[in-house]
């Protein structure tokens, strides 16, 4: 009887503590949640960018939506459009954040948060797999907080030689908070 009474009295506190721990899991990403706009420059030229970070599905996942419009090349009438959508989850078994990113071009990148600086301002995701890319292709995505409402992201690719090359670098400013 005492055990049942203790369980009834302690259960709400344990559930609340568990909920708090789940919410705290997103602390490294709190800065990014909201809407962003900016510019990019890289292999495909200059672009205008819209990015959204939003917690979804009962705060179990962080959704990342990205849309880029590239300036038309001088020799062509039309610019390129890029879109991707991704979900960051927390893999409790590995004690790691995993980012699955789906690109309009058909690529699917699966990253793991490889490093987070001590001050929380730089996070680096390294790919575990690149679906629909050439064999051995690897990707790296870095987000660096550079101001109160500004961050820089760099997307890099590495081929069979193993050396990463910057494909595009973006600078984004906060458009709206949630």
pLDDT band at 76 (very low <50, low <70, confident <90, very high): low
- Locate the domains of the chain by residue range: 28-176
User: Does residue 2 surpass a pLDDT of 60?
Assistant: no
Can you tell me the mean pLDDT for 149-165?
Answer: 94
State the Rg of the chain over Cα: 20
Query: Quick check: 22 and 58 in contact, CB under 8 A?
Result: no
Task: Report the alpha-carbon distance of residue 127 to residue 99 in Å, rounded.
Answer: 9
What global pTM score does this model have? Answer: 0.83
**Reported CATH class of domain 28-176:** mainly beta
């Amino acid at each position: 009887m005492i055990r049942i009474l203790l369980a009834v009295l302690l259960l709400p506190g344990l559930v609340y503590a568990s909920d708090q721990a789940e919410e705290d899991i997103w602390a490294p990403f709190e800065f990014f949640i909201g809407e962003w706009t900016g510019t990019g420059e890289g292999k495909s030229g200059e672009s205008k960018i819209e990015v959204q970070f939003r917690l979804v599905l009962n705060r179990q996942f962080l959704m990342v939506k990205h849309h880029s419009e590239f300036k038309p090349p001088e020799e062509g009438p039309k610019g390129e459009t890029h879109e991707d959508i991704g979900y960051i989850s927390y893999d409790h078994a590995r004690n790691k954040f995993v980012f699955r990113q789906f690109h309009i071009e058909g690529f699917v990148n699966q990253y793991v948060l490889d490093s987070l600086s001590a001050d929380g301002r730089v996070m680096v995701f390294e790919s575990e797999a690149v679906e629909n890319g050439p064999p051995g292709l690897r990707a790296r995505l870095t987000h660096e907080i550079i101001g109160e409402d500004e961050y820089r992201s760099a997307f890099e690719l590495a081929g069979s030689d193993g050396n990463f090359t910057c494909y595009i670098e973006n600078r984004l400013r906060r458009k709206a908070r949630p």
